[in-house]
Amino acid sequence: MDKRLRGVDVYAGEGAIRWPRVKGAGYDFAFVKATQGITLQDKRWSANVLGAQQAGLVVGSYHFFEPTGDATAQAKAFLAKVGGHENLVGQLRPVLDAEKRGGMTVRQYTDSVKAFIHVIETEVGVTPILYLSRDYATRQVYGAELVACRLWLAQWQQATPKWPIGPWVTWTFWQDSAYATVAGMPNVGGVDTDVFAGGPDELQKLIVR
């Protein structure tokens, strides 16, 4: 493991996580799934957020976007789960996980993503982080309209991602694997791991205040 800040992103399917062991293995931050679509709520969200925070990790929450559901309703469902600005103070900015365009056109999908972002900006006062694969960042959305969002890039390989990635000139987070084994996590060989592009001071700048 290198000296860059490392993290994991998790959901209920990981099982019961022993967060002190994750921290002890050298991980610094965690993104925790909160919601999906309009009605799905992750049953381990509260336990994971609390456990990670108590272990000393910096924590953020994410929403898995469903193209079949109204974007504004999805954003409101996410905020109903995680809370508004006051509840999110001290956590990393919310994340929109956009990896399913479904039958939408690129125009429709981009507009829907923008509608979700608008609700978060209005209610929380920060621009959310946007999780995209390279294909989605370059072909499945009109990235120039979304570039105000920090990019969390999904690209599972050993080498650092190459540029350009659509209009983004840098990545902020990089999901470098979906097949890791992490101490304290029972999902052996199936953990998502991440790298942060900066140091502790830069990570602090992404915390809601």
pLDDT confidence bin for 3, thresholds 50/70/90: confident
- The pLDDT assigned to 37 comes to 98
pLDDT of 1 > 50? The answer is: no
Q: What is the pLDDT of residue 88?
A: 98
pLDDT at 208 over 70: yes
Q: How far apart are CA 138 and CA 111, in angstroms?
A: 16
Q: What is the pLDDT of residue 2?
A: 52
- pTM of model > 0.85: yes
* Predicted confidence (pLDDT) per residue in 110-128, tens digit: 999 999 999 999 999 999 9
**What percent of the chain has a predicted confidence (pLDDT) above 70?**
99
Q: Check if the beta carbon of residue 118 is closer than 8 Å to that of residue 85.
A: no
Question: Average pLDDT of the chain?
Answer: 96
Which pLDDT score is estimated for 157?
Answer: 78
Higher local confidence (pLDDT), 188 or 162: 188
- For 200, other C-beta atoms within 10 Å of its C-beta total 10
Report the sign of the C-alpha dihedral through residues 27, 54, 33, 127, in that order.
negative
Spatial distance between the Cα atoms of 44 and 149, rounded to a whole number of angstroms = 27
What percentage of the chain carries pLDDT values higher than 90?
Answer: 94
Report d(CA 52, CA 186) in Å as an integer: 15
The answer on pLDDT for 159 being more than 90 is no
